[in-house]
Amino acid sequence: MDEISAVQYLTRRLTPADAASIPDLAVKVNGPGYIHAEVYHPDKMLELNRDGRLISVVAVHTQSGVVGHSALERPDLGPIAEAGEAMVLPEHRHHHLLDRMKLELEEEARKIGLAGIFGNAVTHHVFSQLTEERYKGRPTCFLLAASPAAAHRIEGTYPQRVSLLSYFTYLTDPGETTGHLPERHHAMVGRIYELLGRRIEFRSPGPMAGRGKLASSYEPATQRGTIRVEEPGVESGAQIEAARRGLVQDFSAEVIYLELPLNHPATARVCEEAEQLGFFFSGVAPQPPGAGDWMRLQYLRNPIDLGLLQIAGEFARDLLAYVGNEMERVRRGASGLSRP
């Protein structure tokens, strides 16, 4: 960044005056249908910032005013926040404003004692990935087919749903965790944790106990469902299949993400069952130190072309290749099964 740019721009926490400029910024960058509806309502933005569910920073040009926005999202006020709502006016890009806002947000996160930050970078271009890579965000998971192209204003120019690459940064010592998963995934998961700086001990699969318990949800704006197995058990496979069918038949979900508790002894067996149902490995979702992390698998209603994804980092490319191989392996194994 040159000295002129440094003089022209500053970053700061959102002020009431700044909030009034965010709707116009959002329309110019994302159109009127951005999935984070609060950006169109200054009063709502300020309310969310006051109670901590949103931590917003803006990039301000000395003459043009607010030209960028980025935020940490904490809907549950938990110890991990999602970095999102990042936008910069096209005529003010290439001045590292996303980088500067990211640093500002990380400092705010440290001030309030957050354990970590995750961000989901788009893969139809590499700009948001490069910001994560520059500031030591670590790839942990691919969320394939996460949202329609229209949500990113690229409908008609991009032939499939947009996939996301999840990055994670620990802000505290992550400590150790344990993992119960099929042995074939140990090497890749071990690499993810090595880059995160968190030690993982892989343990042998344990027996099933109890019926099992899960919860499912659906996001209409993105047409994606989530199944979280809260307690693996002997009926988990049947429960996952019932939830999958419901999300596809009742809601026409385009993609379903499955989360399994990585530190539960029965997770390895439930993972095997889920793969027989058409779910395939996509990564992990780290949690605060002392808490168990989640293993992520996913189910695609329609195939996508992984060759269209643009990936910046070397390890991210390795992870995508692994996910692609698993997608094909599971597809072959589940090809004989009936699907709605």
Q: pLDDT for 21-57, tens place per residue?
A: 999 999 999 889 888 999 999 999 999 999 999 999 9
Average pLDDT rounded to a whole number, residues 305-320: 98
What is the per-residue pLDDT for 339? 62
Q: Do 193 and 328 fall into the same domain?
A: yes
C-alpha 127 chain-centroid distance: 16
User: Whole-prediction pTM value?
Assistant: 0.92
> With 80 as the cut, is the pLDDT of residue 198 above it?
yes
Average pLDDT rounded to a whole number, residues 84-103: 93
Note whether 286 and 168 are within 8 A (CB): yes
Residue 284, SS3?
A: strand
Q: Is 70 inside any structural domain?
A: yes
> With 50 as the cut, is the pLDDT of residue 4 above it?
no
Q: Is 137 inside any structural domain?
A: no
What is the per-residue pLDDT for 33? 85
Q: pLDDT for 130-178, tens place per residue?
A: 989 988 899 999 999 999 998 888 989 999 999 999 999 999 999 999 9
Note whether 163 and 142 are within 8 A (CB): yes
Ramachandran quadrant class, 43 (left: phi over 0; alpha: psi -120 to 50; beta: rest): alpha
Domain with 262 in it: 176-334
C-alpha 182 chain-centroid distance: 23
**CATH number for the domain that contains residue 37:** 3.40.630.30
Q: pLDDT for 169-185, tens place per residue?
A: 999 999 999 999 999 99
Domain end position, chosen among 95, 114, 133:
114
Residue 176, SS3?
A: strand
**What integer best gives the mean pLDDT of the chain?**
94
Domain end position, chosen among 114, 145, 168:
114
Place of tokens 């309502």: 41
What is d(CA 327, CA 329) in angstroms, rounded to the nearest whole number? 6
Q: Is 136 inside any structural domain?
A: no
Tell me the pLDDT band of 3, cut-offs 50, 70 and 90. very low
Q: pLDDT for 106-127, tens place per residue?
A: 999 999 999 999 999 999 999 8
Q: Is 85 inside any structural domain?
A: yes
The total number of structural domains that make up the chain:
2
Note whether 125 and 310 are within 8 A (CB): yes
Q: Do 182 and 329 fall into the same domain?
A: yes
Domain end position, chosen among 114, 140, 156:
114
